[in-house]
Every structure is written in C-alpha cells, then in structure tokens.
C-alpha cells in the first residue's frame, strides 16, 4: 500500500488548527466550499469537486480535539481509487505554533490519480496554513 504524507508548521494553537480540520466552516475554508459535514465520531462528510462531478464520502473514525482527526473514505463518485483510503491529521504544539502532520493512506498503488493527489495535498496543506493564519485559504 502507498501513502501520501505532508507536514506544515502553522502559527496558531492546536485548537484553532483542529477547527479547520473538523468543522464544516473549516473544511469550506481550505478544501472545498461544496461539502456537508457531520463532525462527530461515526458521522459522515461528503466533499464535492468540479461541480459535483467528483465526490468522496468519509466517515469520521476519530475526533480528538486539539490532537487528531481520522477519516475513512466510504463512498465515491468518479474517484474509485480513494475508496477505503484513510486520512490522518495529527497536531503537535511546538514553540507557540502547531505542527500538522498529514497522511493519506491505503492507496493500492502509485497511479496517475495518486500522483495528482500528491500535488493536490501539497496545495491543500498550504491552503490550511493560509486559512488558519490569515482567514483566507485556497479551497477548490
């Protein structure tokens, strides 16, 4: 199995970063404006892209305020390679800032979609950082 990893140092508290990765407004600020989010363990979220042509539905497996978020892709539209993959966001306070460690795990193999997502997640990690630090991200 393949994984995509990334890390960002964000000049904000873990609780503020956690809001960005666990609330409807947070996801809309950095990932996609077109989403529905039931942010509770066992709750689901759907993230839509390209006017709904591509969508992924996730289950929240773990919500640990200020520390971590875990999600599993349980449904997709035109994005089969995401099915069953897992997103992990881990937060570590460091010197008045927060280190956000991201992992998108469970890829069957490296593929064109995988390669596109490597670049996509790099963009979205910068988007989270900008959103949390300035209030303006670069969502899709």
Q: What band does 124 get if pLDDT is binned at 50, 70 and 90? A: very high
Q: 49, 58 in Cβ contact below 8 A? A: no
Q: What band does 11 get if pLDDT is binned at 50, 70 and 90? A: very high
DSSP label of 135: S
Average pLDDT of the chain is 97
**Which domains are seen in the chain, by residue range?**
2-134 (3.30.530.20)
Predicted local distance difference test score (pLDDT) of residue 73: 98
Provide the whole-model pTM.
0.96
DSSP, collapsed to helix, strand or coil, labels residue 1 as coil
């Amino acid at each position: 199995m393949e994984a995509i990893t990334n890390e960002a140092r964000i000049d904000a508290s873990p609780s503020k970063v956690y809001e960005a990765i666990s609330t409807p407004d947070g996801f809309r600020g950095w990932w996609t404006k077109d989403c529905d989010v039931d942010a509770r363990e066992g709750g689901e979220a759907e993230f839509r892209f390209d006017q709904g042509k591509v969508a992924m539905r996730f289950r929240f497996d773990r919500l640990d305020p200020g520390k971590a978020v875990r999600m599993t892709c349980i449904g997709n539209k035109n994005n089969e390679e995401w099915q069953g993959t897992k997103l992990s966001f881990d937060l570590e306070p460091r010197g008045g800032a927060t280190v956000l460690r991201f992992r998108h795990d469970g890829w069957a193999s490296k593929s064109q979609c995988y390669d596109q997502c490597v670049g996509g997640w790099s963009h979205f990690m910068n988007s989270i950082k900008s959103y949390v630090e300035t209030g303006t991200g670069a969502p899709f």
